[in-house]
DNA sequence: GCCGTTTTCGGCCCGACTGTTTTCAGTCG
């Protein structure tokens, strides 16, 4: 029973080998598109195969549906196996080296018999790569560099690791007298959960002074390339940052272009063609008259195409262009919409600050309330709360509330649903709390049935208001538990249990796609920091960004309610309360 | 191989850079 990810991987590999085999390029692009569609689907592709409704999914036609059905039935794909007879599977690996594409991969295999990374490296060193027609010493050097880079950081970097560095650089550049506009572009501007490198777009009175200063920053380890208007550097942490200084008149076009995503830009250009226009980084051209409109502001690009301005977080070609054309883009949630945080810890369990300190930090941010949600007893190593200690904590919360003016601390807990499917506090204790979040912190490797049973127990409990980090994934580090997201979302909507977007940049859980599906299904969300110290409240920006990428509107998110609104809601039993 | 507000055929995004060549293919964003 293959997962969407497994099916997508098989299709991606097939597309790579088709490209290598030089089949009609539109054929492998079609397979690539289908692979992406499968990877990003919120529903089970396998069950759609069982229903025979695969072809209702965009980018999946008769032919690819048949391939998916074969993968579901047999776990493999005959066509791919045939390709593996023709080309060694490891050839796909060496294609991932920067500077090596399908053509080069095929040539080194055919002409030099190379199929593995080690062989490629050896050939680059001993001069046999440089000896190939059309290749030279530089090509070999670039391949070696590419291999080293691949080894150094196979994975993309986490947004939360990259963004602070990028912003530090932006601040420095902005303060330079030569700088006019300085903006982050690329996937970091779209707030994607992982990013490969950082693109900065700027305008300046003296471009060379700006790129020069950029290349001299203390965090630069290596200047990869430098010219009068462009400079690429690598930081000591291995992050590549490109600065492009562009003409004022084209700032809008170039910012739009380099913000991407690639898929968004492709779709935008297709739309332009249908309207008799042509979009590139050098302007929007009216094809008939040949007139080129240059845009110094990004929103002009969208305006010229008859579109509403599309927020960077939405630019993934997931329907945003269609929505912008009809004026039906969502009113995206913004930082100011959040009125409180419903999942954070204190020094009663593994937090590093007192309840009062956390409350004051939240108040300083302009919040109206927090819910102190410490771990419960089965989390022994973090001094999880027993029913007795919980009672004591309630007394302290009452004292803090007495002292604070215009701010409310709600009593809460992050209650474990244990491996045996039992909640870690009895209902009598849960009844004492204002807001209960339930999370899974053990038995990560249980099968889908067991995990889903734990989720059912949690959500059907009348006191449980939210599920914390619902999939348990740690980006690049730990896979999600065996959750059936479609079922969880349906259950959340039915029982009136909110699903959390945990804001820690390692989690971002729910992710953007799941959040969007949850909103569409009528489920409620909460966006929480899971802070363990006051400074962690800053993590909320990543949760809000994830929500925005998921098209989330304020009304979907419980903690956009005012303190009074929240109190009101909590005074009532939750919807769909189990009898 | 997919798709349809110029539909069931004939399209399918655009341009720059690199390294190598002397007019261009491959790769990248």
Structural tokens at position A279: 């979009």
- Which of A325, A344, A370 terminates a domain? The answer is A325
**Which runs of E-coded beta strand occur in A127-177?**
157-158
Q: Residue A259 in 3-state DSSP?
A: helix
| pLDDT score at A579 | 38
The Cα A357–Cα A200 span in angstroms is 37
The dihedrals phi and psi of A358, each to the nearest 5 degrees, come to: -65, -40
Question: Nearest to residue A123, comparing CAs of A107, A112, A133, A134?
Answer: A112
- Residue A521 shares a structural domain with residue A452: yes
Q: What is the CATH number of the domain that holds A147?
A: 1.10.150.110
Query: Does some domain include residue A192?
Result: yes
Q: What's the CA A435/C1' B18 distance, rounded, in angstroms?
A: 59
- Which of A153, A182, A210 terminates a domain? The answer is A153
Residue in the block written with tokens 């909507």: A493
Q: What is the CATH number of the domain that holds A307?
A: 3.30.210.10
The dihedrals phi and psi of A194, each to the nearest 5 degrees, come to: -130, 150
Half-sphere exposure of A348 (CA within 13 A, CB side): 31
For strand B, is any atom closer than 7 Å to the CB of A142?
yes
Tell me the H-state helices in A217-286.
251-259, 262-274
The Cα A201–Cα A185 span in angstroms is 7
Q: Which are the contacts of A568, defined by CB distance < 8 A and separation ≥ 6?
A: none
> What distance separates the 2 farthest-apart alpha carbons in chain A?
80
Domain that holds residue A356: 335-570
- Residue A424 shares a structural domain with residue A523: yes
A301 band by pLDDT with thresholds 50, 70 and 90: very high
Query: Does some domain include residue A330?
Result: no
The Cα A207–Cα A311 span in angstroms is 28
* Strand B nucleotides within a 7 Å radius of protein CB atoms: 1-3, 6, 11-16, 18-21, 25-29
pLDDT digits (tens, 9 = 90+) for A220-250: 877 888 887 888 888 877 788 999 999 999 9
| pLDDT score at A382 | 80
| pLDDT score at A145 | 84
Check whether A155 has a pLDDT greater than 70: no
Number of H helices, E strands in chain A: 24, 17
Query: Does some domain include residue A578?
Result: no
Nucleotide nearest to A37 (CA to C1'): B2
Length of chain A: 579
- Residue A425 shares a structural domain with residue A319: no
Q: How does DSSP assign A170-235, residue by residue?
A: HHHHHHSTTEEEEEEEHHHHTT-SEESEEEEEEEESSHHHHHHHHHT-TTEEEEEEE-SSEEEEEE
| pLDDT score at A577 | 45
| pLDDT score at A224 | 83
More confident residue, A79 or A477: A79
Q: What's the CA A61/C1' B3 distance, rounded, in angstroms?
A: 9
A154 band by pLDDT with thresholds 50, 70 and 90: low
- Residue A417 shares a structural domain with residue A561: yes
Structural tokens at position A556: 């979907």
- Residue A263 shares a structural domain with residue A320: yes
HEC sequence for A386-416: CHHHHHHHHHHHHHHHHHCCCCEEEEEEEEE
Q: What's the CA A116/C1' B17 distance, rounded, in angstroms?
A: 28
Q: What is the CATH number of the domain that holds A166?
A: 3.30.460.10
| pLDDT score at A135 | 87
For strand B, is any atom closer than 7 Å to the CB of A326?
no
Global confidence as pTM = 0.87
Nucleotide B21's nearest residue (CA vs C1') is A134
The Cα A482–Cα A248 span in angstroms is 51
| pLDDT score at A153 | 60
Distance, C-alpha A161 to centroid of its chain: 13
Query: Does some domain include residue A262?
Result: yes
Nucleotide nearest to A137 (CA to C1'): B19
Burial label, A225 (beta-carbon count in 10 A; 0-12, 13-18, 19+): exposed
| pLDDT score at A578 | 42
Nucleotide nearest to A268 (CA to C1'): B13
Query: Does some domain include residue A164?
Result: yes
- Residue A369 shares a structural domain with residue A455: yes
- Residue A344 shares a structural domain with residue A479: yes
Q: What is the CATH number of the domain that holds A564?
A: 3.20.20.140
- Residue A341 shares a structural domain with residue A483: yes
Question: Nearest to residue A335, comparing CAs of A35, A81, A552?
Answer: A552
Query: Does some domain include residue A575?
Result: no
pLDDT digits (tens, 9 = 90+) for A465-511: 999 999 999 887 777 888 999 999 999 999 999 999 999 999 999 99
Q: What's the CA A528/C1' B1 distance, rounded, in angstroms?
A: 43
Query: Does some domain include residue A576?
Result: no
- Residue A61 shares a structural domain with residue A134: yes
The Cα A243–Cα A508 span in angstroms is 28
The arithmetic mean of pLDDT across residues A264-288, rounded, is: 90
The Cα A53–Cα A68 span in angstroms is 11
Strands A194-195 and A157-158: antiparallel
pLDDT digits (tens, 9 = 90+) for A366-384: 999 999 999 999 887 788 9
Query: Does some domain include residue A194?
Result: yes
For strand B, is any atom closer than 7 Å to the CB of A58?
yes
A137 band by pLDDT with thresholds 50, 70 and 90: confident
Q: What's the CA A130/C1' B24 distance, rounded, in angstroms?
A: 18
pLDDT digits (tens, 9 = 90+) for A423-480: 999 999 999 999 999 999 999 888 899 999 999 999 999 999 999 999 999 887 777 8
Q: Residue A5 in 3-state DSSP?
A: helix
For strand B, is any atom closer than 7 Å to the CB of A255?
no
For strand B, is any atom closer than 7 Å to the CB of A290?
no
| pLDDT score at A5 | 81
- Which of A288, A306, A325 terminates a domain? The answer is A325
Average pLDDT taken over every residue of chain A: 91
- Residue A133 shares a structural domain with residue A38: yes
The strand B neighbours among A residues 95-124, by Cβ under 7 Å, are 97-105
Provide the number of structural domains found in chain A: 4
- Residue A518 shares a structural domain with residue A564: yes
Check whether A40 has a pLDDT greater than 90: no
- Residue A533 shares a structural domain with residue A448: yes
User: Are A378 and A419 in contact, with CB atoms under 8 Å apart?
Assistant: no
């Amino acid at each position: 029973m293959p997962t969407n990810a497994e099916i997508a991987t098989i299709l991606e590999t097939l597309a790579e080998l088709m490209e290598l085999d030089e089949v009609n390029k539109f054929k492998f692009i079609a397979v690539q598109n289908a692979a992406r569609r499968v990877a990003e689907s919120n529903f089970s592709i396998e069950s759609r195969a069982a229903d025979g409704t695969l072809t209702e999914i965009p980018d999946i036609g008769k032919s690819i549906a048949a391939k998916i059905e074969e993968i579901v039935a047999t776990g493999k794909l005959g066509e791919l196996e045939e390709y593996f007879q023709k080309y060694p599977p490891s050839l796909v690996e060496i294609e991932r080296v920067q500077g090596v594409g399908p053509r080069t991969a095929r040539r080194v295999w055919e002409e030099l018999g190379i199929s593995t990374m080690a062989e490629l490296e050896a050939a680059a060193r001993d001069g046999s790569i440089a000896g190939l027609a059309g290749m030279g010493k530089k090509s070999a050097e670039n391949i070696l560099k590419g291999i080293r880079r691949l080894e150094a950081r196979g994975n993309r970097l986490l947004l939360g690791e990259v963004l602070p560095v990028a912003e530090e650089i932006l601040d420095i550049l902005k303060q330079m007298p030569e700088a006019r506009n300085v903006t982050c572009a690329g996937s970091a501007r779209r707030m994607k959960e992982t990013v490969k490198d950082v693109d900065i777009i700027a305008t300046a009175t003296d471009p060379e002074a700006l790129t020069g200063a950029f290349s001299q920053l203390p965090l630069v380890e290596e200047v990869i390339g430098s010219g009068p208007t462009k400079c690429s550097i690598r930081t000591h942490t291995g992050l590549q940052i490109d600065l492009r200084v562009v003409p004022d008149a084209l700032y809008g076009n170039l910012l739009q272009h380099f913000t991407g995503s690639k898929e968004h830009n492709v779709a935008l250009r297709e739309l332009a063609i249908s309207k008799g226009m042509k979009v590139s980084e050098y302007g929007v051209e009216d094809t008939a008259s040949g007139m080129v409109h240059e845009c110094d502001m990004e929103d002009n690009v969208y305006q010229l195409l008859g579109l509403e301005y599309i927020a960077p977080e939405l630019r993934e070609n997931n329907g945003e262009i269609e929505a912008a054309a009809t004026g039906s883009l969502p009113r995206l949630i913004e930082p100011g919409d959040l009125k409180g945080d419903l999942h954070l810890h204190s020094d009663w369990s593994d937090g590093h600050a007192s309840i009062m300190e956390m409350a004051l930090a939240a108040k300083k941010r302009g919040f109206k309330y927090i819910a102190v949600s410490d771990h419960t007893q089965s989390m022994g190593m973090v001094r999880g709360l027993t029913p007795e200690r919980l009672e004591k904590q309630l007394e302290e919360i009452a004292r803090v509330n007495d002292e604070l003016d215009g701010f409310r601390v709600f009593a809460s807990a992050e209650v474990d649903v244990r491996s045996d499917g039992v909640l870690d506090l009895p209902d009598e204790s849960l009844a004492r709390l204002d807001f209960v979040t339930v999370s899974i912190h053990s038995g990560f490797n249980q099968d889908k049935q067991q995990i889903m049973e734990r989720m059912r127990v949690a959500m059907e409990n009348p006191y449980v208001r939210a599920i914390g980090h619902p999939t348990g994934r740690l980006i690049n580090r730990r896979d999600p538990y065996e959750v059936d997201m479609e079922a969880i979302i349906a259950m959340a909507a039915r029982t009136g249990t909110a699903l959390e977007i945990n804001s820690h940049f390692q989690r971002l859980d729910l992710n953007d796609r799941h959040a969007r599906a949850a909103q569409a299904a009528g489920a409620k969300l909460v966006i929480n920091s899971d802070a363990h110290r006051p400074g962690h409240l800053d993590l909320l920006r990543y949760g809000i960004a994830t929500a925005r990428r998921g098209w989330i509107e304020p009304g979907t998110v419980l903690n956009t309610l005012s303190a009074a609104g929240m109190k009101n809601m909590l005074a009532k039993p939750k919807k769909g309360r189990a009898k």
